Each structure stands twice: as C-alpha cells, then as structure tokens.
C-alpha cells in the first residue's frame, strides 16, 4: 500500500511566503494547500500557490539546454558545450568591442531563489561590464534610492507594521491582490479586517477603486503621478498646524527645518486641482494621520513607477518620520532577519556613472532598464552587442517592449537562463533551463528582511532534480568559472572557488549565514543554525518587529537625512511639473495605468490552465464618462495609442477607474511568433508595455514611469494616424 506523504515549504512565487502543505501519493502531488501550522501564514494560500503543480508538470518547461538553429528551430545541446559556447562568445565579443559590450538583465524570480541571490552577483562581477540591468528599475528602485539617501543603505527599507497600526494609509498598492510587496505579510485581507475590527482606519489612495479600497474606510481617487503633491500638501498642514512630533527620532534626525521650508510652498489649495483631491480632504487626512495613536503610510508600485517615484517614496518616509511613526510599533519598522542582506549587499551609490546614450544614473552598479534598448541600438564605443537574461521577460515587462524586441534581434549573441521559450528568450541563441522550484531547496533571504514579523523558514527540495539538469546557482558557477579563467593563474583560482562553493552547496552557505547572522552564535553555542531551522518544518516565529534605530542606520553620521540633497535639488522639477499640470491639463489624452490580478504573476504564469481560464482578463477599464465621450461601449475593441505605439484591447466600461484614467493589466501579449507556451497562446491578451514609453522616467532614479502614460483611444475600426 502506498502511503500519503506531506511536504512543507514556503511558496516562492510572490513576496508573501505562504506556508504550503503538499500531499504526495506514489511520488506524485495530489494536493497543495495552505499550511495551517505555519505560524506566519496560518493556512492562507492564493490560487498561484496551488498552481505550482502545473508549473512542475508543464510540458512546455524546458528540461535541457537548447540552441537556436539559423532556421529558427531549437535543438538540444549538452550542458558542457552550452557553457563553453556561451563563455567563448561572451569573451570574444568583449575582446572585440570592450567589456561593456556584454549586458545582463536579471528578472524578478531571481530574487525569490536563494541559489541565484548567492551566485548571480559574482557571475556579473566577472563580466566587468557597466551594462547591468534588472527588473528593479521597473519596480522598487525609487524606494532604494530614497532609503539610501535618507538611511544610508538602499536595502534599509521600512516595512509597515500592519498588525499593530491604528491608521494605515496605503498609496499606490493593492496588497489584497498583489499579496503585499516590500511588506511580506501573507493573508493581507485578514490582517486588514483585523485592523478594522480593533478600531483602526484604512485609507487607500489610488486612481482605481481596488480590491484593497473595497476593504477601506475611505478611498480617494488620485490623478496618476501626483502623489508627491498630495504628500507635500499633507506635510504642509502638519507643519502649519504644529502637529510635528518626532519623538525619539529628533535625537538623530537632520533636515527638519529644510523640509519645513520646502512644504511651506504647498498648501493644499495649491495641489488640490492637480491631484484631483479637494483641499479640505487633504487637510482632514493630514490631521487624522498626524493625530492617530499610531499610523503608517505605505507607498508601493503605483508610487514608484511614475515620474516622481523617488520624491514620493522620500515623502512617504518623511511623513512617517515627522509624525513620530518611524521605527515604532504600529508604524514603519525595520525587520531583523536571520540573514541580514544589509551586510551582504552594497549600501549603494547613485550616479557614479551614467548610461552611455541618455545619461541615466547607475544605482548600486545597475543602470535603468529603460535605457537598455537604446544601448543596444545606438552605434558607437560601448554599444551593447550581447545580452544574458536570467529569470526575466523584459520584452513584456519593460517600457516600449517592441523597441527592445527589435533591439534583441540585432545582437551578436544572446543567452538566457530560463524555464521557458517565451517572448524574450525566443530571441536567445542558447537557453539554459534551471531546475524547477520544487526541485531545489530555498530560503527567502530578501523577503524575511521585508517581513511584518521576524520569521525564518527553510524549504527543502521536494523532488530530486531530473538527471542531467542544473540548478540556477550551478549554472552561474559554471559560467563564472569559465569567464574568470583568462590566465592559467586565474583559472586555478576560479577552480578553487568553484570547489569550495560546490562543496558547501546552498545549505552550507546558508548554515554559515545563520550561524554568523543576528540570531547566531558562530560555529559553537546554542544560536540559530540551519539544522534548527530545518527541524521546524512549519517555520519559526522570531517575534514582532522591534525598534532598531539609530543603531541600524547606515549613514556615516548615524543620523537620518530628512531632506537629502538629491531630493531637495529635484524639487525644481517637481515645482515645474506642478505649474505645467495646472496650466495645461491633458488635452484629450487619458492616463494609462496597470492592474494586477490575483491569478497572474507578472508575465510568466499564464501557461497554467487553472490560472487563465474564464472570462477575458486583459481588458481596458474606461470610466463611463470617457466611454461616452469616445462613443465606445463594453466589449468593443479599441486602439490604445501612445507616442511609441498602439495596441488593441477590448473595453470594459467601469466607474472603478477615475475619470480620465484607463487601466490594463501587464504581462500579457503571448501571441508573438515563436513563443512556446501552449496554454498562454490560447489566452494571449496584449502587452501594455508595447505602449508604455521608455523616455518617461523618474529622473532622480531612472526608474521607468510605466504608470500614467498619456494615451488616446480610437475605436478599432477607425484608421489610426
Ligand atoms: N506596465 C507595467 N509593467 C510592469 C509592471 C507594472 O506594474 N506595469 N510591474 C513591473 C514589476 S513590479 C516587475 S517585478 C517586473 C517583472 O519583470 P521580469 O522579471 O522581467 O518579468 P517576469 O514576468 O517576472 O518574468 C520572469 C521570467 O523568469 C522565468 N522564471 C521563472 N522561474 C524561474 C526560475 O526559477 N529560474 C529562472 N532562471 N527563470 C525563471 C520566467 O519563465 C520568466 O521568463 O515587471 C514590471 N513591469
Ligand atoms: N497577483 C499578483 N501578485 C503580484 C504580482 C502580480 O503580477 N500578480 N506581482 C508581484 C510584484 S513583482 C510586485 S512588485 C508586487 C506589487 O504590489 P503592489 O504595489 O500592491 O501592486 P499593484 O497591484 O500593481 O498596485 C499598484 C496600485 O497603484 C495604483 N496606481 C497606479 N498609478 C498610481 C499613481 O500614480 N498613484 C497612486 N497612488 N496609485 C497608482 C494602481 O491602480 C494599483 O492599484 O506585486 C507582487 N504580487
Ligand atoms: S500569495 Fe504569493 S506566496 Fe502566497 S500562495 Fe500566493 S503566490 Fe504563493
Ligand atoms: Mo515587482
């Protein structure tokens, strides 16, 4: 008789880290459920966690390296020849065109994979190129730049203490659907309901009445891209009314006067028209926030992927600081993870060099991905001639995807480390597929550091990797070893390094990290070890977040910079844009924003039938007033036209969006030729990033302004000019 077996792990698809209970019979998965004994997620799971099974079984998932033939077919090749060929091609291109001729792009799942977190950075360093890109610059880069400027480290990101706050101001985030970001907190609806039950308030500021807004005491529509003005208006009221209370933060905070001087110019009456929120509402909100027993403002993707992303994230922090809500229970706090990423990753530097063509700043050694296509397409010294992508799909996820796609076709060489032949990797010459997520161990090094409680959990491999497959980290180690071996001496060093890392493995490295981390006691003593973490199969709760400042600050003087020069300087741009917004409203344009959906995960989980079936989801939401003005009705197909291109999408008329705003989800558009995703191709949708504009960026950080793109609508039957 075969026995049922239970396996426990943390889902690594999004940041929520839900505990999963996977039931197996005869070695096959029969059920995936939320793990009720996980102290953090307590049984919560979303449909994607259950779809891990589809991912595991997906016939389209690559299981061996492939090379594209000149005719466009894919042929199987051996790992060793794939590694050798990639290393040879990259080195050859670098020797002919210079080190910067090779670019890398790292996508989102890489951050969810401990092996990659450990191994990708040193692979990239070996390439010695400045053309390093990632999904950070279509996501959280403004958070990092603001944190670096204010707290001294790009990863010192305050997390809302959602379980203990009394006033939660959510701007540009929809955690009920996204399950939270830079805020690891599984089961967000439960947490928000608990907040309301204990008498707390939830206020959501969003151009769409979202699923999170549906749970709120108050929802305010805001015109996309104007959050900085709202925050300046709120801060104005707080200073003008004498509600500033830094509390213990006063002892180590600089720049209060400078901030006061800046916000003096932004009374609510001045910013109301631009934001679409009345002066009275701004005043009331500011006072309610400042006088709540404890409050926290949280701004996420909607605040980052806009022209004033860094300003907005700075002002979110500033609002929390001047009301005494930073580093305080129920406010914005700094977690203490068992492995502290601040110690392992660079604190950051901004603008130490600039992108070649447009002069966008690097941050922590990375350039903004909005510049990638032009770096490939623009001839001259330093032009990108080869690209390595890893766990990324920039054709669907970065602005002006069509331009990037055209650029990829001109490359001398491209390699991808990915599980699929998709919209991006189909342009590669060689694809190296890593093992699937259930086939390797994992530890969420980054997300335990962004969590609303201190917890630690290890995920063992569920299945042995198939014969002749490699983990992501082994792939990078092999490539690095070959690339680092320029001379016989370097080759020897690289082989020794390789031997040590193979010997330690992911587990060995993790054990050392725990032993020498904040809860460890080194090689001896009774501190945290990997063995202890492994023994607690449901995870270990290390308690609620604790105040950590000023000790945790990374600024040289151990003080918070409330008015950092980077941002006070950028106020010139903020002021000019406010004057423009007031002088010249949108002249016929609508502002296009995105929309995350529970059964999606960026661009790459649409090949699971259970996640995509049902009603068409890739629809354009249009407010009834705008629909009427354009003479369009639900179900009708329209051309959505921006500076860079045009897409056709079916309309859904809905007062869920603010008048003047239209919304389309991202990550769709799977009907491009050569995409080998059989299910996704049947539900293709269109890619919003074929109309987002690579020229629209947050200048302070270079992050793409994917939200609030000006577009026009034309019924699809009309000619588009
Ligand atoms: N318009 C608009 N655009 C957006 C956004 C938006 O809100 N609006 N959001 C942005 C955000 S926040 C993000 S993070 C980016 C995401 O941008 P990307 O990271 O570029 O895109 P993903 O869709 O996450 O693609 C992940 C890729 O990793 C592969 N993959 C999955 N698991 C593994 C693995 O274990 N190993 C390897 N090697 N590969 C794997 C998948 O097949 C897929 O090709 O998109 C951004 N783009
Ligand atoms: N189901 C699902 N979950 C996901 C993902 C997914 O694709 N699907 N992606 C994961 C990733 S990579 C990330 S980074 C997180 C993101 O997590 P969230 O930040 O919660 O993501 P969104 O749901 O895109 O929420 C952004 C909100 O900002 C609003 N918005 C747009 N423009 C503006 C603006 O100018 N001002 C304001 N105030 N609001 C604006 C949008 O309407 C939207 O409701 O989600 C993660 N979780
Ligand atoms: S919410 Fe995120 S972590 Fe939880 S099951 Fe869904 S995808 Fe996985
Ligand atoms: Mo993201």
Give the mean model confidence (pLDDT) for residues 237-253.
98
Q: Which of 16, 350, 374 is nearest to 162 (CA)?
A: 16
Residue 332 has pLDDT above 70, yes or no: yes
Residue 693 has pLDDT above 80, yes or no: yes
Q: Which ligand is nearest to the CA of 301?
A: 2
Q: Which of 282, 288, 279 is nearest to 323 (CA)?
A: 288
Radius of gyration for the chain, computed over Cα atoms and rounded to the nearest angstrom: 25
What is residue 698's three-state secondary structure?
A: strand
Residue 635 has pLDDT above 60, yes or no: yes
Residues 196 and 323 grouped into a single domain: yes
Which tokens belong to 410? Answer: 């001109």
Number of domains in the chain: 3
CB of 45 closer than 6 angstroms to any ligand 3 atom: yes
Round to whole Å and give the CA distance between 170 and 167: 10
Residues 268 and 229 grouped into a single domain: yes
Q: Give CA 438 to chain center in angstroms.
A: 22
What pLDDT digit, counting tens, does each position of 369-381 carry? Answer: 999 999 999 999 9
**Residue 3 confidence class, pLDDT cut points 50, 70, 90:** confident
Q: Are 221 and 658 in contact (CB under 8 A)?
A: yes
Residue 544 has pLDDT above 50, yes or no: yes
Residue nearest to ligand 1 atom 40, measured at CA: 391
CATH of the domain at 685: 2.40.40.20
Q: What is the pLDDT of residue 721?
A: 43
Residue 719 has pLDDT above 50, yes or no: no
Give the mean model confidence (pLDDT) for residues 54-58.
96
597 Cα–ligand 2 center, Å: 9
Q: Which ligand is nearest to the CA of 668?
A: 1
Flag whether 261 is in a domain: yes
Q: Which of 471, 367, 439 is nearest to 103 (CA)?
A: 367
Cα angle value 11/16/18 (rounded, 5°): 45
Residue nearest to ligand 3 atom 6, measured at CA: 46
Flag whether 707 is in a domain: yes
Q: Which of 361, 310, 329 is nearest to 150 (CA)?
A: 310
Q: Which ligand is nearest to the CA of 188?
A: 3
Residues 226 and 275 grouped into a single domain: yes
Residue nearest to ligand 2 atom 32, measured at CA: 302
Give the mean model confidence (pLDDT) for residues 692-707.
98
CB of 49 closer than 6 angstroms to any ligand 3 atom: yes
Residues 6+ away with beta carbon under 8 Å from 573: 699
pTM for this model (two decimals): 0.98
CB of 604 closer than 6 angstroms to any ligand 1 atom: yes
Residue 220 has pLDDT above 50, yes or no: yes
Go through 642-675 and write b for each residue having 16 or more CB atoms within 10 A of its CB, e for each that does not: bebbbbebbbbbbebbbbbbbbbbbbbbbbbeeb
Residues 161 and 253 grouped into a single domain: yes
Residue 95 has pLDDT above 50, yes or no: yes
Residues 213 and 270 grouped into a single domain: yes
Q: Are 189 and 640 in contact (CB under 8 A)?
A: no
Flag whether 673 is in a domain: yes
Q: What is the pLDDT of residue 720?
A: 45
48 Cα–ligand 3 center, Å: 6
Residue 706 has pLDDT above 50, yes or no: yes
**Residue 584 confidence class, pLDDT cut points 50, 70, 90:** low
Q: What is the pLDDT of residue 585?
A: 62
Residue 718 has pLDDT above 60, yes or no: no
Give the mean model confidence (pLDDT) for residues 60-80.
97
Residues 556 and 657 grouped into a single domain: no
User: Which range marks the domain in which residue 22 is found?
Assistant: 5-50
Give the mean model confidence (pLDDT) for residues 185-204.
98
Q: Which tops the pLDDT comparison, 583 or 592?
A: 592
Q: What is the pLDDT of residue 587?
A: 72
Residues 664 and 563 grouped into a single domain: no
CATH of the domain at 175: 3.40.228.10
CATH of the domain at 46: 3.30.200.210
Residues 558 and 625 grouped into a single domain: no
Residues 179 and 294 grouped into a single domain: yes
Residues 163 and 252 grouped into a single domain: yes
- Beta-bridge partners for 548: none
* Residues of the chain above pLDDT 90, percent: 96
Taking the C-alpha atoms of 395, 399, 405 and 407 in order, what is their torsion angle to the nearest 10 degrees? -130
What is residue 28's three-state secondary structure?
A: strand
Flag whether 216 is in a domain: yes
Query: Which of 414, 461, 604 has the most ligand 1 atoms within 8 A of CB, as the residue to mutate?
Result: 604
* Residues in the chain, overall count: 721
**Which residue among 568, 596, 611 closes a domain?**
568
Q: What is the pLDDT of residue 364?
A: 97
Flag whether 681 is in a domain: yes
CB of 160 closer than 6 angstroms to any ligand 2 atom: no
Give the mean model confidence (pLDDT) for residues 306-315.
98
CB of 393 closer than 6 angstroms to any ligand 1 atom: yes
Quick one: which atom of ligand 3 is closest to the CA of 41? 4
Distances (CA, A) of 720 to 442, 546, 640, 713: 50, 57, 10, 10
**Residue 466 confidence class, pLDDT cut points 50, 70, 90:** confident
517 Cα–ligand 4 center, Å: 27
Residue nearest to ligand 2 atom 46, measured at CA: 178
Give the mean model confidence (pLDDT) for residues 95-110.
98
Q: Which residue bears the tokens 């344009």? A: 589
Antiparallel, parallel or unpaired: β 201-205 and 167-171:
parallel
Round to whole Å and give the CA distance between 29 and 32: 8
What pLDDT digit, counting tens, does each position of 338-356 carry? Answer: 999 999 999 999 999 999 9
Flag whether 481 is in a domain: no
Q: What is the mean pLDDT of the chain?
A: 96
Q: Which of 606, 599, 603, 593 is nearest to 397 (CA)?
A: 603
Quick one: which atom of ligand 1 is closest to the CA of 393? 20
Residues 244 and 313 grouped into a single domain: yes
Flag whether 617 is in a domain: yes
Q: Are 320 and 332 in contact (CB under 8 A)?
A: yes
- Beta-bridge partners for 14: none
H or E segment to which residue 533 belongs: helix 530-535
Give the mean model confidence (pLDDT) for residues 595-610.
97
Residue nearest to ligand 3 atom 4, measured at CA: 18
Residues 180 and 294 grouped into a single domain: yes
Flag whether 456 is in a domain: no
What pLDDT digit, counting tens, does each position of 394-411 carry? Answer: 999 999 999 999 999 999
Give the mean model confidence (pLDDT) for residues 383-390.
98
Q: Which ligand is nearest to the CA of 666?
A: 1
């Amino acid at each position: 008789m075969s026995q049922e077996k239970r396996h426990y792990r943390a889902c690594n698809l999004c940041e929520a880290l839900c505990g999963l209970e996977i039931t197996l019979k005869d070695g096959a998965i029969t059920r995936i459920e939320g793990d009720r004994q996980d102290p953090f997620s307590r049984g919560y799971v979303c449909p994607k966690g259950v779809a891990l099974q589809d991912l595991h079984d997906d016939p389209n998932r690559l299981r061996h390296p492939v090379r594209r033939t000149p005719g466009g077919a894919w042929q199987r090749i051996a790992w060793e020849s794939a590694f050798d060929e990639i290393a040879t091609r990259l080195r050859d291109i670098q020797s002919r065109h210079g080190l910067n001729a090779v670019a890398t792009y790292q996508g989102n799942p890489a951050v969810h994979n401990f092996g990659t977190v450990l191994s990708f950075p040193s692979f990239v360093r070996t390439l010695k190129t400045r053309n390093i890109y990632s999904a950070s610059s279509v996501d959280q880069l403004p958070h990092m730049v603001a944190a670096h400027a204010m707290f001294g480290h790009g990863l010192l990101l305050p997390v809302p203490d959602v379980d203990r706050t009394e006033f939660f101001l959510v701007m540009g985030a929809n955690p009920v659907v996204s399950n939270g970001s830079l805020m690891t907190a599984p089961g967000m609806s439960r947490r928000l309901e608990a907040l309301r039950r204990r008498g707390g308030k939830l206020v959501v500021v969003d151009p769409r009445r979202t699923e999170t807004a549906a749970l709120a005491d108050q929802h305010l529509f805001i015109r996309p891209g104007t959050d900085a003005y709202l925050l300046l208006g709120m801060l104005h009221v707080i200073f003008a009314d004498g509600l500033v209370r830094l509390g213990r933060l006063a002892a180590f905070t600089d720049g209060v006067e400078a901030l006061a001087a800046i916000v003096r110019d932004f009374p609510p009456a001045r910013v109301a028209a631009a934001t679409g929120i009345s002066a009275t509402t701004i005043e009331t909100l500011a006072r309610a926030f400042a006088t709540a027993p404890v409050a926290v403002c949280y701004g996420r993707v909607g605040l980052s992927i806009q022209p004033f992303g860094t300003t907005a994230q700075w002002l979110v922090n500033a609002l929390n600081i001047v009301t005494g809500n930073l580093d305080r229970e129920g406010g914005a706090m700094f977690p203490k993870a068992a492995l502290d990423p601040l110690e392992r990753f660079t604190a950051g530097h901004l603008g130490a060099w600039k992108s070649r063509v447009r002069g966008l700043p690097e941050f922590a050694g990375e350039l903004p991905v909005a510049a990638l296509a032009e770096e490939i397409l623009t001839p001259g010294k330093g032009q990108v001639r080869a690209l390595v992508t890893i766990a990324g799909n920039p054709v669907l996820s970065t602005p002006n995807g069509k331009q990037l796609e055209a650029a990829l076709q001109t490359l001398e060489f491209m390699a991808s480390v990915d599980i699929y032949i998709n919209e991006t990797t189909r342009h590669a010459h060689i694809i190296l597929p890593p093992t699937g997520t259930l086939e390797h161990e994992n530890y969420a090094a980054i997300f335990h550091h962004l969590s609303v409680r201190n917890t630690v959990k290890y995920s063992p491999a569920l299945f042995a990797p198939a014969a002749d497959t490699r983990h992501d980290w082994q792939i990078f180690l092999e490539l690095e070893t070959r690339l680092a071996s320029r001379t016989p001496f370097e080759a020897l060093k690289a082989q020794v390094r390789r031997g040590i890392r193979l010997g330690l493995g992911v587990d060995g490295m993790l054990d050392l990290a725990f032993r020498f981390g904040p809860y460890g006691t080194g090689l001896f003593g009774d501190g945290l070890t990997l063995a202890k973490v492994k023994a607690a199969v449901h995870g270990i709760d290390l308690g609620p977040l604790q105040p950590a400042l000023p000790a945790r600050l990374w600024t040289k003087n151990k003080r918070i910079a409330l008015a950092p020069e980077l941002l006070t300087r950028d106020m010139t741009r903020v002021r000019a844009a406010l004057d423009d917004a007031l002088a010249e409203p949108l002249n016929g344009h609508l502002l296009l924003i995105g929309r995350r959906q529970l059964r999606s995960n960026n661009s790459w989980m649409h090949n699971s039938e259970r996640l995509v079936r049902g009603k068409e989801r890739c629809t354009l939401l249009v407010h009834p007033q705008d629909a009427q003005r354009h003479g369009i009705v639900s179900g009708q197909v329209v051309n959505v036209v921006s500076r860079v291109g045009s897409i056709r999408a079916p309309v859904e008329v809905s007062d869920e969006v603010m008048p003047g705003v239209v919304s389309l989800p991202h990550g769709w558009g799977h009907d491009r030729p050569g995409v080998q995703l059989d299910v996704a191709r049947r539900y293709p949708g269109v890619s919003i990033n074929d109309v987002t504009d690579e020229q629209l960026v947050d200048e302070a950080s270079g992050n793409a302004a994917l939200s609030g793109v000006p577009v026009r609508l034309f019924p699809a039957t009309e000619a588009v000019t």
